[in-house]
Amino acid sequence: MELPLSATELHRDHDLMTLLLKVAEGDQSAFTTLYEATSKAVFGLVLRILNDRATAEEVLLDVFTQAWRQAGNYDRGRGTPIAWLMTIARSRAIDRLRSGKHDQQKDTLEHAGELTAQTPSPEDHTVIAERQKMVRQAIESLSPEQKEVIELAYYSGLSHTEIATKLGHPLGTVKTRTRLAMIKMREMLSPIFSR
């Protein structure tokens, strides 16, 4: 099953790319606009990984400082600006998580849909909200076992051997579940990728 992608999304990506180009030239006004357009999604991800608001705020600052410094290195061929920011955010948050001291949130990807329903945000009608909906639908299409391994790999940064140990499953089972889950999501999210 494929999910629809609106033309608004493509325009939005284009706008963010334009902003990022200006940021690379040292335009602080463009940087502020970029921050205002993306910080909620990025903060949501960082908070989800760290489950500690104070630490998440520090990491959010680090993420956007890095974005400011490295905007000139952004390669549009490698993904959308928001995907680029999310990648930096996940990497920073997982690094902080591995440095210890932070317990993660207990809810899993399974509850992603419930969370949205409980906490509607002003972004409900924005492009980010559209993509959130598509990704959550893709996740909902996974089996609980598949969601579990993706959750531990993506949000906890565990290796497949660590996941196998944590769940008490054979390594081969973890690999198979990961592969099938990723293939399923790849199919479901293909409209986002066909830029």
Name the site residues for other proteins (rule: CB under 8 A). Answer: 26, 28, 31-32, 35-36, 39-41, 43-45, 47-48, 57, 60-61, 64-65, 68-69, 79-80, 83, 86-87, 89-90, 94, 109, 112, 115-116, 119, 121, 123, 128-129, 131-132, 134-136, 138-139, 150, 153-154, 157-165, 171, 175-176, 178-179, 181-183, 185-186, 189, 192-193
Residue 74's CB is within 10 A of a number of other CB atoms, namely 17
Q: Which tokens is 7 given?
A: 């033309």
Task: CB nearer to other proteins: give 19 or 150.
Answer: 150
Question: Least distance to other proteins from the beta carbon of 142, Å?
Answer: 11
Nearer to other proteins, 10 or 61 (CB): 61
Q: How far is CA 21 from CA 32, 102, 126, in A?
A: 13, 35, 22
Q: Reduced to 3 states, what is the DSSP secondary structure of residue 189?
A: coil
User: Shortest distance, CB of residue 185 to other proteins, whole angstroms?
Assistant: 5
The CB-of-2 to other proteins minimum distance in angstroms stands at 14
User: Could you tell me which of 107, 94, 86, 103 has the C-alpha nearest to residue 153?
Assistant: 94
Distance in angstroms (rounded) separating the CA atoms of residues 95 and 46: 11
Are 191 and 3 in contact by the 8 Å Cβ rule? The answer is: yes
